[in-house]
Amino acid sequence: MAKSESWEWIKAVSVALILAIVIRYFFFAPIVVDGQSMMPTLEHNDRMIVNKIGYSIGKPDRFDIIVFHAPQNKDYIKRVIGLPGDTLYYEDDQLYINGEPVEEPYLEKYKQGASRLPYTGDFHLREVTGYDVVPDGHVFVLGDNRQHSKDSRHIGVIPYDEVVGKANIVFWPFTEIRIVN
């Protein structure tokens, strides 16, 4: 009887481990925010859940917060600004996409408290990436802390196949559990 009960426990633990590995590898994964590039939307050491399956059936949307594989074997977390086919530029702290001004409401209160202005320096897509439009199968990303972010202005456009997933749930610290947009 004891041998049968032990065998049942071994099977149950094995199934649980296999399920945990499959869920983490294919569906969701934790990530730790490292640095200040997304502050104050995300703080250094925030723990988030990355949804890996959303982009296997769809593509990133403008202003999604995504995790992607970046140079130096590191994963970055940034906000999608430009989509394939977009032209974009910043002028006088205003984002223009396809020639039209676009509001970034998630930045408004941070611009007011910025130590120096403009919050986002002037640039054109061509100047920072060499492209006139965001290429097919790529996105242009920026950190919310525009003055302290290594993003597409420095590393170029991000191919879809380097995108790990969408990150919008902070689960730690426990007192700061929230959905971010």
Domain containing residue 86: CATH number: 2.10.109.10
Residue of higher predicted confidence among 173 and 26? 173
- pLDDT average, residue stretch 20-40: 72
Residue 179 lies in a domain: no
Short-list 93, 95, 96, 94, CA closest to 117? 93
Query: Residue 56 burial (CB < 10 Å; 0-12/13-18/19+)?
Result: exposed
Residue 24 lies in a domain: yes
Per-residue pLDDT at 169 exceeds 60 = yes
Residue of higher predicted confidence among 41 and 125? 125
Per-residue pLDDT at 22 exceeds 90 = no
Q: Which residues contact 105 (CB under 8 A, 6 or more apart)?
A: none
Residue 64 lies in a domain: yes
- pLDDT in the model for residue 132: 94
Task: Place 147 in a pLDDT band, splitting at 50, 70 and 90.
Answer: confident
pLDDT tens digit sequence for 93-145: 899 999 999 998 888 877 777 777 788 888 999 999 999 999 999 999 999 88
Residue 58 lies in a domain: yes
Residue 180 lies in a domain: no
Residue 116 token pair:
């120096």
What domain range includes position 65? Answer: 2-173
Task: Place 155 in a pLDDT band, splitting at 50, 70 and 90.
Answer: very high
- pLDDT in the model for residue 2: 66
Phi and psi at 175, nearest 5°, equal -75, -10
Q: What is the DSSP letter of 73?
A: T
**Active-site residue numbers?**
37, 78
Adjacent-strand bridge partners of 49 = 30, 169
Residue 9 lies in a domain: yes
> Are the C-beta atoms of residues 70 and 155 closer than 8 Å to each other?
yes
- pLDDT in the model for residue 34: 82
Output the pTM of the full model: 0.81
Residue of higher predicted confidence among 151 and 168? 151
Residue 181 lies in a domain: no
> Are the C-beta atoms of residues 161 and 60 closer than 8 Å to each other?
no
Q: How many domains does the chain have?
A: 1
Highest mean pLDDT pick, 16-30, 39-53, 77-91: 77-91
Adjacent-strand bridge partners of 141 = 80
Query: Residue 7 burial (CB < 10 Å; 0-12/13-18/19+)?
Result: exposed
- pLDDT in the model for residue 134: 96
- pLDDT average, residue stretch 165-180: 78
